[in-house]
Structure 1
C-alpha cells in the first residue's frame, strides 16, 4: 500500500498527454455527431449515405491504427505524434472545400486517418507515465479525457449546429487542432528502445507485426460495443427531433459526461483491486439498460436517464478495455496491443452507423435502439464463455 501511495500518477507528462488526447477526441466527436445532419441538409444525402459519411471516418482511423501500432516503435512515438497532428490539421482544413458527397467521403477518410494516427500515439505515450501498480486507475483517469470528449464534443457540436453554420464549426475545429499541433511539437515524448529481434519482427509484414493476438478477444467485444454505441452517436440528433425533445439532446451528453466524471476514478480502483470482471459485466448491463430506456423515451427526464445509464455502460467499458490490454501485453508490444483494441472499437463505430442506418429503412428509431441493446447482452455471453479461456490459452502457449 505504501509503494502504491509513493508512485505519483499525476505527473507533468501524464497531465499533458491527457489534455492533448482530450482535444483530439473532442474534435472527432464534435464532427461525428453533426456530419450526418450536414450531409443530409447541405448535400442532400440519404440517411444511409449520411451514415456512411459518419462511418467512413472510422475506416480511415482503422487503417491508421493498423499501420501506426508498429510504426510507433519503429520510427519513434515522437515522430508519429508530431507528423500525425500536422496531417490531422491539414485534413480538418479540407472540410472547408467539400462540393459533393464524393469529396465528403474522401475528406472524412483522410481526416479519420489523421485522427487515428494521433490518438494511437497518445494512447501508447501515456503508458510511459503510469506506474505499473496503478494501471487500472491511471488508464481510467486518462480514459476520462476520451469519455468527457465523447460527451462534451457532441454537446458543443449540437449547440453550434443550432446557433451557427457548418463553416463556423470547421473554423472552430481548426483552431482547436492548431493548438493541439503546437502542443504536440513541444511535448517531450519518451521513445522506447526495442531489441534487434523485436525491430525485425515489426519491420516484417507478418500478422504479428500488425495485430496483438492476446487482445483479439477483448477487441472483438469492443467491436460489438462500438456498433451498439454508434446508434447513439449517429442518430440521437434525428431521434430527438422525432420525439420533439431537441431541447434535451445536447444535455444528454452533459449527463453522460457528469456520470463518467464521478464514476471513473472508482471504476479504476475497482479494476486494480478486484479485477476486470468487476467492471466489465456491469458495463454491458448498463449499456443494454440505457439503450432500452432510450428506445422507450417520451419525456425529457427519461431521455436524460438513458444518457446516464449509457455513460455507465459504454464509458466504463471503453477505458477498462484499454486497461485489460495493458494488463495482458508485453511492454514492447503495448503500441500494437492498444491499436488492435481500438481497431475493434473503431470498426464497430464505423460500420455501425451504416448498418443501423440501413435498418432504419425497415424499423423505427425505437426498434433500432432495441436492436442495439441486444449487442451488449451478446457481449455478456461471449465474455463469460471465452474471456478466461483466451487468457489461459496464451499463458499455456507462452510456457511452451
Structure 2
C-alpha cells in the first residue's frame, strides 16, 4: 500500500489505532490486576506476584529481536492476524488457570505474542502515514497506548470491586475478539519478495537494525527513568499519605499527554526532532524532581502534568526517529530494535530503582531518575548529530 494522500486519519489507520488500543488495554489491565490476583486468589507471596510481570517481560524481550525477521518471512498482515489471535487466546486462558506455575507458563506464552503484535502494529501504522507527517501520525498512534496506560488500570481496579476475577478475564478476552476482527480491515505494505528472500541464514541484520540503535539507546535511558513511575508511584504515594490521589495523577498525566500531542507531532515534522526532544527531556526531569519532594495532592498532580507533557512527547518522537533512521523495507526491524532497548530500560530500571528505593528511599529514587534524564540530554545531543544526516535521506525514501 503506497501513500497516495496527505491524510493520516484513513479507515485502515483508525482500525490500526483501535487494534493497538485493545492490545495495550488488556496488557496494562493484566499488568495491574494479576499481582493482586496472585496474592488474593492464589494465596501467593509478593515475590510471586512480581514474577507474573517479570516472566512476561522476559519472553517479550527474548522474542523482540526476532520480530522483524518473522514479519519479513510471513508478511505484516499475516503476522498481525496470527499474533493478535494468539494474544487473544492467551487472554482467554486466564479464566481457566488457578495454578501459579501454569500461570507463569501462560504469562511467558502471552509475552511472546505481545512482543510480535506491538512491533508489527507500529510498523504497519508507520507505513500508512505520509512521510512528511511521520512525527504527527505516530504521535496520534501512540495516543492509543497512552489512553490504555490510564484506562487499563482504572478499568481493572474499578471492576474487580463488583465482579469476580473470572468475569474480568472473560471481559479481556472479549476485547481481544473485537481486536482480532479489526485486523482483517487493516491494509498493509508488504516487503517485496526479492527483499524477503535475499537473506536465508539468520544474521545480526535479521535481529537488529544497527542504524536505529543510537536513538534506541536514548529510549533505553528514558524508559529506565520512567520505570520508577510505572513500578513505584502507587507505593510512593501511599508512603506520603497521598494514595487516594494517585489515580488522579494518571488522569492528569494522560490529559497533559493528549492535549499536547497534536502540537508536538506537528512541531516534530516542521521544525525537526530537536525542537521537541530537548524541551521534553527538561520538562520530564523537572517533573521527576518535583515528584521527589511531593507532600500534597496539588504538587503530586502538577508533577503528573509535567511528566505527562515531557515523557508523552518523547516515545513517539523516538519511534519516528528510529523508523526514519533506516530504509522503508527495514521499518519492522527498526521498530523491533527500538522496543528491545525500551523494554530493557523498563526491566532494568524496575530492578535497580527498586534497590535504590529500598536502600535510600523514594526521594532519592526520583532524584536519581531525574539525573538519568538530564544525562540523556547530553547523550541525545551526540545521537542527534548522527541521526540528522540519515533521516534527511530516508524521509525522501519514505515519501516514495
Structure 1 match to 2:74:
75
Does the alignment pair 1:257 with 2:245? no
Does the alignment pair 1:155 with 2:154? yes
SS of 1:360 mapped into structure 2: helix
| CA pair 175-28 structure 1, distance change in 2 beyond 3 A | same
Q: How does 1:206-355 map to 2 (within 5 A)?
A: 206-355=203-352
- CA contact 2:212–2:323 (8 Å) conserved in 1: no
Does the alignment pair 1:363 with 2:360? yes
Shift of residue 117 of structure 1? 1.6
- CA contact 2:321–2:391 (8 Å) conserved in 1: no
| CA pair 395-139 structure 1, distance change in 2 beyond 3 A | closer
Structure 2 match to 1:172:
171
| CA pair 307-34 structure 1, distance change in 2 beyond 3 A | farther
Does the alignment pair 1:137 with 2:136? yes
- Farther-moved stretch of structure 1 (63-72 vs 119-128): 63-72
CA deviations over 1:44-75 (Å, ceiling 9, x no partner): 66655544432332222223322121221221
Structure 1 match to 2:197:
199
Query: 2:319 & 2:271 partners in 1: Cα distance?
Result: 16
- Farther-moved stretch of structure 1 (168-177 vs 79-88): 168-177
- CA contact 2:283–2:307 (8 Å) conserved in 1: yes
Structure 1 match to 2:397:
none
What TM-score, normalized to structure 1? 0.89
Shift of residue 41 of structure 1? 4.6
Query: 2:363 & 2:99 partners in 1: Cα distance?
Result: 31
- CA contact 1:140–1:265 (8 Å) conserved in 2: yes
Query: 2:217 & 2:161 partners in 1: Cα distance?
Result: 37
SS of 1:372 mapped into structure 2: helix
Query: 1:8 & 1:155 partners in 2: Cα distance?
Result: 33
Q: Which runs of 5+ in 1 are unaligned?
A: none
Shift of residue 277 of structure 1? 0.9
Query: 2:186 & 2:330 partners in 1: Cα distance?
Result: 21
- CA contact 1:54–1:234 (8 Å) conserved in 2: no
SS of 2:367 mapped into structure 1: helix
Query: 1:89 & 1:390 partners in 2: Cα distance?
Result: 37
User: What do you get for the CA RMSD once the two structures are aligned?
Assistant: 2.6
CA deviations over 1:327-356 (Å, ceiling 9, x no partner): 222011011111111111122223332333
- Farther-moved stretch of structure 1 (70-79 vs 158-167): 158-167
SS of 1:7 mapped into structure 2: coil
- CA contact 2:290–2:303 (8 Å) conserved in 1: yes
Query: 2:102 & 2:26 partners in 1: Cα distance?
Result: 20
| CA pair 374-53 structure 1, distance change in 2 beyond 3 A | farther
Shift of residue 357 of structure 1? 2.8
Q: Which runs of 5+ in 2 are unaligned?
A: 394-400
| CA pair 348-169 structure 1, distance change in 2 beyond 3 A | farther
Query: 1:389 & 1:19 partners in 2: Cα distance?
Result: 35
Query: 2:162 & 2:244 partners in 1: Cα distance?
Result: 13
Structure 2 match to 1:26:
25
- Farther-moved stretch of structure 1 (38-47 vs 370-379): 38-47
- CA contact 1:219–1:344 (8 Å) conserved in 2: yes
Equivalent residues, number? 391
Query: 2:14 & 2:214 partners in 1: Cα distance?
Result: 30
Shift of residue 214 of structure 1? 0.7
